[in-house]
Amino acid sequence: MRFETKAIHAGQSPDPSTGAIIPPIHQTSTYVVEAPGKDKGYVYSRTSNPTRTALEKNLAALENGKYGLGFASGMAATNTVMNLFASGSHVVCNDDLYGGTHRLFTQLYKDYQLSFDFVDAADTKNLEEIIRDDTKLIWIETPTNPLLKIIDIQKIAKIAHKHNLPLAVDNTFATPYLQQPLTLGADIIVHSTTKYLSGHSDIIGGAIVVSDEKLYEKLSFFQNAVGAVPGPLDCWLVLRGIKTLALRMERHCQNALRIAQHLKDHPKVAKVYYPGLPSHPQHQLAKKQMSGFGGMVSVELLGDTKSAEKFIRSTRFFALAESLGAVESLICHPATMTHASIPREERLKAGFKDELIRLSVGVENIEDLIEDLENAFKRI
């Protein structure tokens, strides 16, 4: 089965009791069993639920993995991966991470004696240099957020395996439609299904996909033991979203490229970050590693923070909101919104300025989107 077909069919067969083509929302906490130990595969919905199973199988198929695990949020999925590591462990990450991941790693786990180092992993040498004897995991996100750098998953996987470390990749920005990290050598994939996978700004959810059975057993034990699981309705909504993932991603990519091209020589723009522009430093790598460049565009405006703030309040279709990856276009100011929990010096060190705005380009008509941005430019 190819991607678009898997998105619609994997993990989902007509309901045997009614023929319903869509897997039902099994809104139930428990399951009646014939006798203790004699069940139909389901006992209690924290442990497993048929709607969740359908989603987990579907996600595993999309990522070319063996096992999927659903979570109540992307952060719950990330936290579950970190449950694998005992206190005293060191983790190596790229420096341009989702703000919530950075907050979890640096603010919460410091009390659990886990330590983290962040480097610009677009140059893979940087990352290898900071691996220590107590390093237990490499964690990357690519494209990075908000600077949209591209990190070479295949190279980092080789480095990880040379040092006997697992590589985890947060694949939220690319989605399995554009990039398949397990195929490139990664060991663990994390998703916020809140974003492109559900695609309609209507749920919060997360997922992990792995192929290693031992790893799966541990993670599935944590999933049940901790209990940060998604409800059946949310799983069903993600499944519905995924059916059109391929179609939506095509349009997201097309629209984002048009916007990046429109803005790159714009008199009010200092710099455009988009891996689909030939001027992007990792454009060739993006072409090789991804099958499209995604729907996120970051833009450094000319002028000061004030004009950036004015700009983000002046668009009509680009709604001022955190989050990304849905059909409607969003605009945000990372420094005061998604990445506000990262100290300013650290942000500047990682190369992102106060004038940076981030666009999640939706699937609206491209002319409307460009006009919307032009109208906002007139106000600054």
Provide the annotated active-site residues: 46, 98, 170, 195
Query: Cα–Cα distance between 380 and 366 in angstroms, integer?
Result: 22
Residue 173 or 318 with smaller CB distance to ligand PLP: 173
Which member of 75, 178, 237, 246 binds ligand PLP (CB under 6 A)? 75
Residue 79 sits in the site that holds ligand PLP (CB under 6 A): no
Which member of 56, 128, 170, 355 binds ligand PLP (CB under 6 A)? 170
Tokens representing residue 107 in the block: 């603010």
Among the listed ranges 128-136, 165-173, 346-354, 372-380, the one in contact with ligand PLP (CB under 6 A) is 165-173
Contact 91, 113 (CB under 8 A): no
Residue 234 sits in the site that holds ligand PLP (CB under 6 A): no
Which member of 53, 58, 101, 255 binds ligand PLP (CB under 6 A)? 101
Residue 299 C-beta: closest distance to ligand PLP, Å: 18
Q: What is the DSSP string of 286-317?
A: HHHH-SS--SEEEEEESS-HHHHHHHHTS-SS
- Closest to 141 measured CA to CA, from 118, 110, 164: 118
Residue 98 or 274 with smaller CB distance to ligand PLP: 98
Buried b / exposed e over 117-149, threshold 16 CB at 10 Å, is: ebbbbbebeebbeebeeebbbbbbbbbbbbbbb
User: What residue is closest to ligand PLP based on CB?
Assistant: 74
Residue 206 sits in the site that holds ligand PLP (CB under 6 A): yes
Residue 98 or 216 with smaller CB distance to ligand PLP: 98
Quick check: helix, strand or coil at residue 183? coil
Which member of 109, 173, 216, 222 binds ligand PLP (CB under 6 A)? 173
Torsion sign over Cα 76, 81, 83, 85: negative
Residue 73 sits in the site that holds ligand PLP (CB under 6 A): yes
Residue 74 sits in the site that holds ligand PLP (CB under 6 A): yes
Residue 141 sits in the site that holds ligand PLP (CB under 6 A): yes
Restricted to residues 315-354, the positions that interact with ligand PLP (CB under 6 A) are: none
Residue 13 or 336 with smaller CB distance to ligand PLP: 336
Tokens representing residue 78 in the block: 């990330």
Residue 100 C-beta: closest distance to ligand PLP, Å: 5
Residue 95 sits in the site that holds ligand PLP (CB under 6 A): no
Residue 273 C-beta: closest distance to ligand PLP, Å: 15
Query: Cα–Cα distance between 57 and 66 in angstroms, integer?
Result: 8
Residue entry with tokens 């045997």: 16
Residue 103 or 243 with smaller CB distance to ligand PLP: 103
Contact 90, 116 (CB under 8 A): yes
Residue 360 C-beta: closest distance to ligand PLP, Å: 10
Residue 294 C-beta: closest distance to ligand PLP, Å: 12
Residue 22 C-beta: closest distance to ligand PLP, Å: 24
Buried b / exposed e over 347-378, threshold 16 CB at 10 Å, is: beebebebbbbbbbbbbbebeebeebbeebbe
Residue 93 or 269 with smaller CB distance to ligand PLP: 93
The DSSP element (H or E) to which 332 belongs, if any, is strand 330-332
At 255, the amino acid letter reads N
Number of residues near ligand PLP (by CB under 6 A):
16
Residue 162 C-beta: closest distance to ligand PLP, Å: 26
Residue 195 sits in the site that holds ligand PLP (CB under 6 A): yes
Residue 6 or 195 with smaller CB distance to ligand PLP: 195
Contact 168, 137 (CB under 8 A): yes
Query: Measured between alpha carbons, how far is residue 30 from residues 39, 163, 220, 358 in Å?
Result: 11, 44, 18, 43
At 202, the amino acid letter reads D
Residues that bind ligand PLP (CB under 6 A): 73-75, 98, 100-101, 141, 145, 170, 172-173, 192, 194-195, 204, 206
